[in-house]
Amino acid sequence: MCGIVGYAGNAQAAPILLDGLSKLEYRGYDSAGVCLYSEGTLKVAKAKGRLMNLSNMIDGGNAVSGTIGIGHTRWATHGAPSDVNSHPHMADGGKIVVVHNGIIENYLQLKERLIKAGKSFQSETDTEVVANLVEFYYEDSHDFLTAVRQAISRIEGSYALGLLCVDQPDTLIAVKKDSPLIFGFGSDGNFIASDVPAILSYTREVSYLNDGDMVVFTKNSYRFYNAAGDEIEKTPEHITWEIDAAEKGGYEHFMLKEINEQPKALRDTISPRIKGGEVVLDDIKLTADYLKGLKRIYVVACGSAYYVGCVGKYILEKTCRIPVEPILASEFRYANPILGEDTLVLIISQSGETADTKSALMEAKAQGSRTLAIVNVVGSAIAKAADDVIYTWAGPEIAVATTKAYSTQLSVIYLLAMYIARQLGTVEQEEYAQVLRALEELPEQVMKILAPENIEQIQYYASRCFSHKDAFFIGRNVDSAVGLEGSLKLKEIAYVHSEAYAAGELKHGPISLIEDGTLVVALATVPELFDKTMSNIKEVRARGANVLALTLDCFDEEIHKTVERAMLVPQTHLLLQPSLTVVPLQIFSYYVAVMRGCDVDKPRNLAKSVTVE
């Protein structure tokens, strides 16, 4: 959601900015722009639509010269996607140019005052207010840094900002609060960016800015300040992963690549945490005394991460005997949750930057609950703010729709469940050992599901189903929770209207929607509930549904007595089955989306990192 790149160096800036923005496309955007200091002025070029439009407009960067500049991909919040609402925004007097990620909450009041002070506005954005506010103060002090500081002190909301001033052509200022921003230490210039892939071709030495941090830099100098305005030191962190990890590597889409990366991501997440037959979570500090005092666990997250929580409820309650409530982060703060020392708040987030999730975390902390975050991005805001963090080692996830992050989050839930259950004595040694063994085998089993012959079969099923307008996912117990994720995948990337229901609920309403040819994806992987789910399958078939089943390979023969098409997964420990069940659902949605001609990696209206509420 909005991407920022900035560069001050010796090379031509425009191609670097375009390249950096292309690496941030995964965040979702609807327009793009750059501003360079060029021949005595600040030159802005921006265009609605894909980055290609901007690139064509400035001839791949060759049409604008200059060695310092800022670039932006915008995901519209205030004002429709349009050329004029695109960033960068120039202040009325042409002195200041700004790119921004976040939301300025008091922009209307500020705008009113600035208009009274004689400033005029071109766009509907909150960002243009920042440009004019900085310029307003600059006209007084003629000091760029002072003006930025004064403006920041008046702004409420979230921001990562990159700013240029026409009178200080060698300097770029960046500041952040509640939106991600990193600084890159280059050998031939310095960078800012919303995320590492944007600058990884140029430098591996980065520093994550904390809330309130500001950096003032040129091509060969940088100074960092904290929120209080004191100069601070920042030590570079060395990025070890390769740019390939953020590129397609021969796959047609990032999503397909990331689906195929799941065995490795699972292995990287699980293996280091099982040592000598025990779950070892060195990174967290939940003592047996603390766990014994727990009355409840809230699992707080958005979207797919929330659906991990829905599966997690079954796993954690079954093994730890503590009530678990998954709750959407956007609802959490307003639901008056029961917080305090006896409530653990488990936060799940791939990006670690999701605004609602972060706000929920802060609320939980403020009300005295311990927070434990499962996060993929090291150094992200949620990782920094939580009391404890368990990282999923999924590597960078670029496709907007999550796959490997979901799987690794789920694997951490199993590890955590075993860790807690062990300390509480709520799991038998034999079951504990079985779960750990099954966890270690999980990557191999996912690999089997990803075998070419399986993928081809799912692809074939997708070819028989891709023209459906509606779909219903049904299942019982953990299958009902995995169905939520399968359904979300289909709607978000293939634009198929899709709902997920606990199969037993069908008769209480949704079955009235089943008619001739309706697609029903029926999950039946829980052996003790197989017959019950089969009855539900028969009920929808009797009303004309076109059923695609998903079950264990040991039920191959049985399922085919009732349905023609079935996706099969190997059996694992009951608790871990969702980790296998979800994989064919990801593949199915992927191929349905491809066959429907959708932009799989960048579905319409969606952003990878939702940094506004």
67 or 357, CB closer to ligand F6R? 357
Residue 317 phi, psi dihedral angles, 5° rounding: -65, -40
Residue with tokens 């429907």: 596
Smaller CB separation from ligand F6R, 477 or 609: 609
Residues that bind ligand F6R (CB under 6 A): 302-305, 349-351, 354, 357, 401-402, 488, 492, 609-610
CB of 605 to ligand F6R, least distance (A): 12
Token representation of residue 104: 């300025």
Residue nearest ligand F6R, Cβ-based? 303
List the alpha helices (DSSP H) in 84-126. Answer: 107-116
Q: Chain centroid to CA 424: how far?
A: 33
Cα–Cα distance between 142 and 146 in angstroms, integer? 8
Query: Which residues are catalytically annotated?
Result: 2, 608
Query: How far is residue 225's CA from residue 211's CA, in Å, rounded to a whole number?
Result: 11
- For 325, the token pair is 């409530």
Residue 39 CA, chain-centre distance (Å), reads: 40
Q: Which is nearer to ligand F6R, 31 or 350 (CB)?
A: 350
By DSSP bridging, strand 189-193 and strand 182-185 are: antiparallel
Query: Nearest distance from residue 509's CB to ligand F6R, in Å?
Result: 25
Those residues whose C-beta lies under 8 Å from the C-beta of residue 509, and which sit 6 or more positions away, are none
How far is Cα 70 from Cα 226, in angstroms, rounded to an integer?
A: 22
Nearest to 314 by CA among 437, 475, 447: 475
Nearest-approach distance from CB 43 to ligand F6R, in angstroms: 35
With tokens 């439009």, the residue in question is 53
Nearer to ligand F6R among residue 300 and residue 420 (C-beta): 300
Closest distance of CB 28 from ligand F6R, Å: 10
**CA–CA separation, 6 and 295 (whole Å):** 48
Tell me if 399 sits within 8 A of 253, measured CB to CB: yes
Binning the chain into helix, strand and coil, the percentages to the nearest 5 are 40, 25, 35
Instruction: State the DSSP H helix or E strand holding residue 100, giving kind and residue range, or none if neither.
Output: strand 96-104
Closest separation between CB of residue 347 and ligand F6R, Å?
9
In angstroms, give the least distance from the CB of 165 to ligand F6R. Answer: 34
- Min separation Cβ 603 and ligand F6R, Å: 9
Q: Does the CA dihedral 6-9-14-19 come out positive or negative?
A: negative
Distance CA 142, CA 165 (A): 10
Nearer to ligand F6R, 179 or 350 (CB): 350
Q: How many helices (H) and strands (E) does the chain have?
A: 19, 27
Cβ proximity to ligand F6R: between 301 and 547 the closer is 301
Minimum distance from residue 438 beta carbon to ligand F6R (Å): 25
Query: Which tokens hold the place of 14?
Result: 């425009």
Nearer residue to ligand F6R within complex by CB, 61 or 312? 312
Contact 434, 421 (CB under 8 A): no
Residue 64 and residue 56: Cα distance in Å, rounded?
A: 12
CA 268, distance to chain mean position in Å, is 19
Identify the CA nearest to 24 among candidates 253, 196, 240. Answer: 196
Please identify, using beta-carbon distances, which residue of 343 and 357 lies nearer to ligand F6R: 357
CB-nearer residue toward ligand F6R: 147 or 246:
246
- The CB-of-265 to ligand F6R minimum distance in angstroms stands at 14
